[in-house]
Amino acid sequence: MSASNVVKIRHFPPELLSVPAVQKDPPPKLSSSDDEREQIIAALKLNNGHRENTARYLGISRRTLQYKLKRYGLK
């Protein structure tokens, strides 16, 4: 470590720098077919019922999610 207590890239070993970043699988795109309801249910479960996170995961606004929940009779 340098005397200035600032950690820089060069201070890390090469094997640590060569590890690929973890990538999360992209969320499924919502379709207008009958399986949209099932996709919303699965996304809600994945996000522990948190609607804002579910909307973000699905790539839609929270308001759009609320509309779809009402449309499909989901709470």
Q: Is residue 67 part of a domain?
A: yes
pLDDT (0 to 100) of residue 4: 74
Q: What is the pTM of this model?
A: 0.57
Number of domains in the chain: 1
Q: Is residue 51 part of a domain?
A: yes
pLDDT (0 to 100) of residue 64: 96
Question: Using alpha carbons only, what angle is made at residue 49 by residues 40 and 66, rounded to the nearest 5 degrees?
Answer: 55
Q: Is residue 11 part of a domain?
A: no
| pLDDT tens-digit readout, 36-48 | 999 999 999 999 9
Q: Is residue 61 part of a domain?
A: yes
pLDDT (0 to 100) of residue 14: 78
Domain residues for the domain of 73 are 30-75
67: domain CATH number is 1.10.10.60
CB neighbour list of residue 1: distance below 8 Å, 6 or more residues apart? 7, 11
Q: Which two tokens stand for residue 17?
A: 């720098």
Q: Is residue 6 part of a domain?
A: no
Q: Which residues of the chain fall below pLDDT 50?
A: 1-2
Instruction: Tell me if 18 sits within 8 A of 9, measured CB to CB.
Output: no
